[in-house]
Amino acid sequence: MEAFLVSFSTVAIAEIGDRTQLLSLMLAAQYRRPWSILAGVLIATLANHLLAGLIGVRLGRFLTPTRLDLVVGVSLIAMALWTLKPDRLADQSGRRQPRSAFLATLVAFFICEIGDKTQVATAALAAAYSNLLLVVAGTTLGMVLVNAPAVFIGKAFAARLPVKTIHYVASALFLILGAIFILRAVR
């Protein structure tokens, strides 16, 4: 259960203000089909995080538990620093828009997640915990739950959030989690 909870909270925190959350806002404003968009987010995230998790498990086999804790701790501290730099979406006006909100979301979300901090976190967590399914379930649920308000409430909700403060709080949480893993490795 620890693998699920840590995975869920890590990705949920990392996703706040992330480019994929901004992408959710943009897609919601453009298509106004929240269930189709959320379904696309779910499927794209599940595929992307499963791939990242498989890579993490493969790499995790080569590391001792102490080294895994150290790698996860350092990764979380790197994410803390990365979180301080908010993502922005490039303006995509003038492009021809696909007709399917689901398909557009699926493709855009999958591509946007490649190399994203939530994908990196998923790989690191899968390396650290022995239960790939719990890690992927936690990271996927964290991603979907954080994106759901952006999809259903849209830009009006996002405009009222103190994004800068949220980034500082998220960064502090990552620092704390990273320090816990590093202390566990040092012991």
Domain map (residue ranges) of the chain? 2-87+100-186
> 43 Cβ partners below 8 Å, 6+ apart?
106
Residue 92's pLDDT is 47
Residue 126's pLDDT is 94
Torsion over CA: 170, 79, 53, 33 (sign): positive
Per-residue pLDDT reduced to its tens digit, 52-104: 999 999 987 777 778 777 877 887 788 678 767 755 544 444 444 456 889 98
Residue 43's pLDDT is 97
Q: Which residue has the higher pLDDT, 109 or 46?
A: 46
Q: Which residue has the higher pLDDT, 100 or 44?
A: 44
Nearest 5°: phi and psi at 18?
-75, 165
User: What's at 81, amino acid-wise?
Assistant: L
pLDDT of residue 112 exceeding 60, the answer is yes
